[in-house]
Homo-oligomer: A and B are copies of this chain.
């Protein structure tokens, strides 16, 4: 099979990607829950951020990015838009963003996923690459949360349990 033939083959539908992402988000939610309140905001290894800061990063990327894509708005990324003081606040916002992501994601067409967009006025890539990046970034930081939990003597949720 030539590369040209493969290039026209599709890997999965947008709905399958959304289900995969929301499965990851479910797991990340359980990782947030697994942290003791104090450690969520304070525990760190090797000068890295506490897990609460990573969770805030994830919350301020996904929904706002999809909204920007649909509204053709390249406004800058703003992590300060959300400054929670408790685990409960983080979890509440997490659940709100679940609906925001479903709402905007389902408005992105197959054609749009292949178009280049200057996300947050800074990340100029095809939309599908930016969406993959959101998920990869979430897996990346959540895995760092796994190490924090292990170092705290807490068993993290199973990586393969998503719903």
Top 10 A-B pairs, shortest CB-CB distance: A46-B150, A143-B143, A10-B10, A9-B110, A46-B151, A147-B147, A139-B139, A140-B143, A9-B14, A11-B17
What sequence of 0s and 1s flags, for each residue 1-45 of chain A, a beta carbon within 8 Å of any chain B beta carbon? 101001111111111111010001000000000000000000001
Copy number in the complex reads 2
Main secondary structure of the interface of A (DSSP, over half): helix
In the complex, A70→B146 CA distance in Å? 34
Across the interface, A139 reaches (CB within 8 A) one of B47, B113, B136, namely B136
Of the four ranges (under 10, 10 to 19, 20 to 34, 35 or more), the interface on chain A belongs to 35 or more
Report if A47-B150 is in contact (Cβ < 8 Å); known contacts: A1-B106, A143-B141, A159-B140.
yes
